[in-house]
Structures are given as structure tokens and as C-alpha cells.
Structure 1
Amino acid sequence: MISLTTNVCIVWKRLILMIAFIGAIIFGTSVSHAAYIAPPSTIGEAVVLIDADTKEILFAKNPDKWMHPASTTKMVTLLTALELKGTQLDELATISSYATSMEESNLGVHVGDQITLEGVLEGMMVASGNDAAVVVAENVSGSVENFAKDMNRVAAKAGAKNSVFLNPHGLTQMGHHSTARDLAMIAAYGMKYQMFRDKVANDYYKVPYQNRTPETIRTTNHFIRNKYPGANGLKTGFTNAAGECLIASATRNGHTMIVVMLNDDNRWDEAVQFLDYGFKLRGVI
């Protein structure tokens, strides 16, 4: 015969198990909901958010679609120049009439200007100068055609797999294309180097002409202008074929996020939303 004490023990055990089961359901559900963070919506044609430190893709929309990169190409131009001429940037650049014939946007260099290759690079990134991009190409590799070959080699080294660069400025040219994923990989590769980081983060730059009055210019990158917390680059782009493009990066607590947006009319607002999303995923904000 089972004692009353035994019955009480059985009831208590069942009650405890039931409470534990209900608690697991309630708190387990709460934790799973808290852990999920919904990504922002985007109107961009191709978008990639990458953790620059781990190279993990945190969001992707059409990441491998061939796209016109417009002036985001100049990020690759910068990286190529630094890879090939990083220790010789104080050399005076030769400026050709071909370089000065480029359509806008331009830095405004003239044939005969005395300016270092570093000055041209800085001006290219801040003003998004197509003329400056050609000056870089001609002084680093001898010609635009040779420089394009170097660009493709450096891009592949950085992790690009589906890009073909035919010019240093990004003006529309048949066959010149990249992808959001490739540009994200190239940007993450470049941000490992201090010289690269220094040249993609400028709001203002005083172009150091040696033969005429130095000219102060301001970046075309409103993401940097708007002072997003931790903003440190990278590059804008626009052509009729490419639409509005942006590569935006920010670092918080030593952690760097990069978002690439191609053909995105809402690039400024979405850059903030995607970077916030990335930092939230990493527990930074």
C-alpha cells in the first residue's frame, strides 16, 4: 500500500517538472525572439553587408550580379596604386592632356601641374576625380590599359572573383563590371592597411599643388559628411548606367563593418540602417 507521503512526493515532482517545462517554453521563446534581429529593407539592386574583420557576409541581395560600379572603381585604383607604388608616393606626377580631357567629376589638374602622386590619390578619392584616376594609372603603370591589368590582378588578390576593370575611373565602358560581393571583399582587404584607411576617410583635403595655390576640396561622400558614429570611408559612385552607388564603412570598438550598395536611390539612409544592423548583430550597439 502506497503511503500518503509517497503520493505527496510524486505530486510535487510532477508539479516541479511541469513548472520547469512551462518555464523552458516561455523563456526559451523569449531568448529566441531576442536573438533574432530583422535586417533592413532595401531598394538597392545589389547590396552586401560584410564584417570586415571576419569576411562574413551578414546580408546579401544579388551579391554576384554583374553591375556597373561607377566611381566605386576608384577604390580599386587606390588599392592598386598603394600595392605597386606605396613607397614612392612622394614622386611628382606627370599630367597628360588625355587625363585633363576626362568628363566630370574631376579634381581639376592641369598639364604641367606640380603635384605628388600621393596628392593626386588623395584628391581622386575626395573629389572623385576622373582626371586624377587617369593620372594615377599613367604614372603607376605607364598607361590606362596596363593599369587595368594591374587592377584586375590586385582585385583578384583581394578576393574578387567576378569583376573586370577596364579603366581606373569607372566611367561606363562595355565589359567593365563588378559585383557587390567583390567590392565588399576588396574594401575589407584594403581596410587592413593604414595607408588605405587614411585615404578613404577624408572629409576635406587641401590639394598640395607646388606650382599654384593649394586648393581645399570637400568629399562627395555624404556618409562621411553626416558624421555617422565611427564612419571611416569609403567611396561613392554614380553614372546613368550604374545608378547611385556607395561603399560605406565604420569602425566601433575596434570592429569594422562595410556595406556595398549598387543602384540604390536610398543609399545614404540605408547605409546607416545596414551598418547599425551589423553592429547590433555583433553586440556593439
Structure 2
Amino acid sequence: MPWSPSGVDFRVVVPLRKGLYFPGNLRIFPVLNCLRAGIVTAILLSPGSILPLIARESYFVVEANSGRILLAEGSEQRRPVASLTKVATGIVALDWAKATGTDLGVEMLVPPSVASLGGSNPMGLAPGDRISLRNALYSALMGSDNSAAQSIAHHVGFALQQARGDTGDPVKVFVAEMNTLAGALGMRHTRFSTPHGLYVQRSKGYSTATDMARLCIYAMRDPGFAFFVKQKSRALSFRHREVTKAFRVQNTNRLLGRMQINGIKTGLTSAAGQCLATSSELQPIVEKLPDGATRLTPRRLICIVLGSQDRFGQTETLMGQGWNLYNQWVESGAVMTSVSERLVVPDPATQR
């Protein structure tokens, strides 16, 4: 029997009017966060407009290269995604470094704002410490380090301000870039509000399983990003005053190396529940064509699980089912009869 989440599947109660999604104009109010059977949340954008009530879990499985949608449930429900937010933080920083020719070894100053952050800070970063952009990316993407993510956002945001001659909060500048990328990728139901994903009062970001799949497909196209998230552990260092401190970061994704899983990111907050974005990659399909040429068909599944009570077990089940469905589709001729069967992820470079 196909796997499906238990619990009530809440549907749209008030239709959204077209054109309400504008970054900066959103007001989000958690109304319900109860019922031990699941997370139920109503989110208000403007008077008379309410988002769908959220079922306990959402998931989405897609083959990244063809865009073939394989499994989906509640995948258009807007909900907090916790540290999956750091996927956007990481790829925006890498895109900026590539665009500006910045070496990832550049040293960053840990900003004062990390002192007020909660959650994960595995290295114990403190204001005034110095860490390379590369090591901060490792810690943010592997260890879900909130202080590292905040430091990345502050450093890159400040550099963008200098280039533009702007002033203000560098972190807000960086988050604006995250939302610009989301818009370019067609993530119509996403709003990032922080670089780390903590559910902060009056600053509550959200996304959907479908939108996070778009982001992960884009991010995993970058070899550097893919390298960061597939590491199980990494030796890092940073400078505290005049002392160099060593640290070994462990990847929080315990599925790495199983079922050909090579990324991507975990997430967990009380508001978001257990979240997990994964990539599973098989060797390409090799075909000999009538003209003697060889055709290679790459294969990668992206699985997004939001609000789960067992993200790792659920992901293993979904990945197994996803590969079975993909193989059946390929064996039947790999034909898509409807646009609804395919997830299209635009290339932001073509939209500049």
C-alpha cells in the first residue's frame, strides 16, 4: 500500500486572492499550534485572506533532471521550514562569491547580532571571532549552525551594501537577495525572513515542500554546494581573539551514504516540526542510439519532508517509492502527458 501521512488533511478554507504575495508586505500570525495529532496553523496575510490550515506533514518527491513529479501530499501548504532556510543562505553566498570572484577563504568577522540568537551554535562562535566564509558554510550547511549562517549573511550583505552605496542592516540586505532568488526560481509561496530559519517573533518565514524542491534542485546544480552538503564530517577552525580554535563539525543528516543519499539539509523547530531535504543520486542510464552515439540520462531524486514526526524514516520510505515510480515511468517510455506532471525550475541567469 502506498505510504501516506496519518492524521487529518486540512484543505483551503478561504481562497487566496491573486497578487497578495509581495515580500515586505506580509503579516503572519500563528493562530493555532496545538493538537498532539499534528501541527495546525492559520496564517493571516491581510484582512479577509487566510492561508490553508496546515496538515501535520507535507512531502514532495521529484526527479531533478526531468522534473518528473513522483509523489506529493500537502506540498503547496505554506509552513515554516526551519533550517532548510540555510539552503538558500548557502547558495546565495556561493552565487555571490562566484559573481564577485571572492575566494571562499576570505575571513569574516562574526557580528554582534549572533549574541542574541538561539538554537544551534556548535562551534561556540562569539561576536568578534573570525572565520573563513568556507568554514562558515561548512558549519551552517552541515552542522546547521545559526551563528555561522548569521555571519555569512552579515558579511555578504555588507559587501553588497558597499557595492551599491547603501546603508542599513546588512542581514536584511542578504535576506532580500534570498527572496529575490526565490522569486527567480518560481517559489511563489515562499518568504524568507532570516538566514537561519529560526521562527522569530514578527519575522516568520515560510515555504512549501514544492518550493523547497525548486530551491534544492537549483542548489544541487552547483558542484560546490553539492560538495558541502555531502560531507559527513569536516575539520574546521576559527580565531577567537588571538587563539586559533579547532572544531570538527558533524553532518546532522544521518541518512548520508544510505540509499545513495548525498545531501541536503535537516531542519527542526517547534513551529516547523521535523524537516528534511534529501538528494539521492544514481549512476546515469547509458543508452546506445541507432547512430552509434551514447546517451546518458542523469538520475537524481529530491525529497522534501516538512512537519514530520519521523523525518528520516519517512524519507527512506518516500525515496524507495520514488525510485520505484521513476523506474516504472522510464520503462513505460518516460512520457509526460500533462504539464502538472513536471516541475519546472527556471534558470535565474536568464532572468537578469
Fold equivalence (TM over 0.5): yes
The 2-side partners of 1:55 and 1:155 are apart by 18
Q: Aligned with 1:93: secondary structure?
A: strand
The one-letter amino acid paired with 2:229 is V
Q: Aligned with 1:283: secondary structure?
A: helix
- Partner residue in 1 for 2:88: 76
Are 1:40 and 2:72 matched, yes or no? no
The 10-residue stretch of structure 1 (165-174 or 81-90) with the greater mean CA deviation from structure 2:
81-90
Tell me the C-alpha RMSD between the 2 structures.
Answer: 1.8
| Structure with bigger gyration radius | 1
The 1-side partners of 2:178 and 2:60 are apart by 21
Q: Which runs of 4+ in 1 moved over 6 A?
A: none
Q: 2:276 aligns with which of 236, 240, 246?
A: 246
1:54-93 alignment, distance < 5 Å: 54-86=66-98, 87-88=101-102, 89-93=104-108
The 2-side partners of 1:176 and 1:155 are apart by 12
Q: 2:112 aligns with which of 97, 107, 112?
A: 97
1:5-44 alignment, distance < 5 Å: 39-43=2-6
The 2-side partners of 1:232 and 1:269 are apart by 16
The 1-side partners of 2:205 and 2:232 are apart by 28
The one-letter amino acid paired with 2:280 is A
How many Å apart are 1:159 and its aligned residue?
Answer: 3.0
Q: How much identity, in percent, do the aligned residues show?
A: 28
- Larger helix share, 1 or 2: 1
Q: Aligned with 2:238: secondary structure?
A: coil
- Larger strand share, 1 or 2: 2
TM-score for both structures, normalised by structure 2? 0.66
- Partner residue in 1 for 2:131: 115
Q: Aligned with 1:53: secondary structure?
A: coil
The 1-side partners of 2:57 and 2:78 are apart by 11
* Contact 1:164/1:177 (8 A) holds in 2: yes
1:1-285 alignment, distance < 5 Å: 39-43=2-6, 45-86=57-98, 87-88=101-102, 89-107=104-122, 108-142=124-158, 143-173=170-200, 174-209=203-238, 211-224=243-256, 227-254=257-284, 255-283=299-327
| More relative contact order, 1 or 2 (CA 8 Å, 6+ apart) | 1
The one-letter amino acid paired with 1:198 is F
How many Å apart are 1:181 and its aligned residue?
Answer: 0.4
* Contact 1:58/1:278 (8 A) holds in 2: yes
The one-letter amino acid paired with 1:274 is L
Q: How many residues align?
A: 246
- Give unpaired runs (5+ residues) of structure 1: 1-37
The 1-side partners of 2:204 and 2:121 are apart by 23
The 1-side partners of 2:280 and 2:143 are apart by 20
TM-score for both structures, normalised by structure 1? 0.81
- Give unpaired runs (5+ residues) of structure 2: 7-55, 159-169, 285-298, 329-352
How many Å apart are 1:202 and its aligned residue?
Answer: 1.5
